[in-house]
Amino acid sequence: MAGRQRIIRAASLQSLAPISRPNRSAATSARLFSSTSLSSNPARIPLDIPPPFPVTKTCPEPSCSCPATPSMPAPIDYDQPLNGTMAAYAQQLLICTGQRDWTSRIEEDGQGQSWGEMVRGLKSLLGRGGKYADPFNNILVTSSSFLPSSLSSLSTSAATSQTASAFLFPSFKYFPSVPVNVPESASASATTDLSTFVRAFLLPNESRHGGQIRDQSLAAEFPDAVDLQHSPVVLICGHGGRDMRCGVMAPVLETEFQNVLQSKGYTSAGSNNNVVDSPEHAHIGLISHVGGHKYAGNVIIYIPPGMKEAGSSSPHPLAGKGIWYGRIEPKHVQGVVEETILGGKVITDHFRGAVDRESGVLRL
């Protein structure tokens, strides 16, 4: 037994000896071996994956005069790479308010207005602790300057018929009249209400963790819903009540997008919803906070699934997608219209992220 202990102790001392008295050449060899091993790890080799859509690196210089970039009340971040700064989301719901700015927290705005009740109702249903809250199904609820439909009631005086209007992307749908009342109990939800809308359109088609899923049969409760097929949508963060950088930049960009798109053949371009879907119409609106005020101007371009490439009968390369841009100035608007809206190319220098109605979030 004593002899065995001596053998084990000797073996242990021999195994520790190189650590306590390192040999320089051996250590160097070990480091070289480790470096070679790490560099040969397939996980560390950059993969040459082609982008999920056509791209161009820079925004071309404008060929016509454009407004000067307005002075900003705070610095714009020109240093951080933009790619990947878009928050992942499943769908974006644009509530039509007819307003051009909102309080810092949009759920505190619209008192006595049906659209305000819709914002607050959605927060109670989808927010933390809500009946339909799902961390894997982020619904981006955004206020917009688009005018409510004449079918929706502006006042809360008739609560039983109170409705609001909204767009949904990348589902590319417009809802002129959505009930905003939230049932106080499950037994009170026999009629069509805001929870019906949530279950019909905002829940996921498939649950990743056994949660609730969309009930597509409930879509029939909204027969006036319109599928957007042709009109591109330009959204500009103009939430001055949250950060004045967007509040200052957005109106200048809005006017420039209207001018450039009209010069390219869009006979109507703006936030008036009298024309919901037409190859000659482009929706342009201001929206509330979507994150990244320091990247103003923040612009989202939604290309509808039926849109064609300019001057062609071919499908638009970005059809069914939403492209997020940052650091857009008036001098970039013509390039964004020509390269992205008409030409189907994503400008990588301004790219924050993208979403597709079939495959979800897209990155470069």
pLDDT of 20 above 50: no
Percent of the chain with pLDDT over 70: 82
Pairwise pLDDT comparison (46 vs 176), residue with the higher score: 176
Summarised one tens digit per residue, pLDDT across range 69-91 is: 999 999 999 999 999 999 999 99
The DSSP letter of residue 110 is: -
3-state secondary structure of 339: helix
Virtual torsion, Cα 356, 357, 358, 364, nearest 10 deg: 10
- Let me know if domain 56-175+226-364 sits in CATH 3.40.30.10: yes
The pLDDT assigned to 25 comes to: 45
> Region 155-173: what's the mean pLDDT?
78
Global confidence as pTM? 0.84
The pLDDT assigned to 156 comes to: 47
The secondary structure element, H or E, covering residue 114 is helix 114-126
C-alpha to C-alpha distances, 313 to 179, 263, 309, nearest whole angstrom: 39, 21, 7
pLDDT of 22 above 90: no
pLDDT of 6 above 70: no
The pLDDT assigned to 13 comes to: 37
Summarised one tens digit per residue, pLDDT across range 307-351 is: 998 888 899 999 999 999 999 999 999 999 999 999 999 999 999
Average pLDDT score over the chain: 86
d(CA 171, CA 203): 12
> Region 256-277: what's the mean pLDDT?
87
> Region 253-263: what's the mean pLDDT?
96
> Residue 300 is encoded by which pair of tokens?
């989202």
Q: First CA to last CA across the chain, in angstroms?
A: 66
d(CA 42, CA 313): 43
The pLDDT assigned to 267 comes to: 85
- Give ranges for CATH 3.40.30.10 in the chain: 56-175+226-364
d(CA 86, CA 64): 31
The pLDDT assigned to 19 comes to: 40
The pLDDT assigned to 46 comes to: 65
The pLDDT assigned to 47 comes to: 67
> Region 237-250: what's the mean pLDDT?
97
The pLDDT assigned to 12 comes to: 41
The pLDDT assigned to 358 comes to: 85
Q: Which of 45-59, 93-107, 123-137 has the lowest mean pLDDT?
A: 45-59
Residues with Cβ within 8 Å of 261's Cβ and at least 6 positions away in sequence, in order, are 234, 269, 282, 284, 337, 341
Percent of the chain with pLDDT over 90: 71
Establish how many alpha carbons lie within 13 A of residue 115's alpha carbon, considering only the half-sphere containing its beta carbon. Answer: 28
3-state secondary structure of 124: helix
Q: What is the largest CA-CA distance in the chain?
A: 99
Residues with Cβ within 8 Å of 177's Cβ and at least 6 positions away in sequence, in order, are 149, 151, 152, 163, 164, 165, 224
Query: Which residue, among 60, 46, 49, 47, has the nearest Cα to 350 in the 3D structure?
Result: 60
Report whether 333 contacts 272 (CB < 8 A).
no
> Region 2-18: what's the mean pLDDT?
42
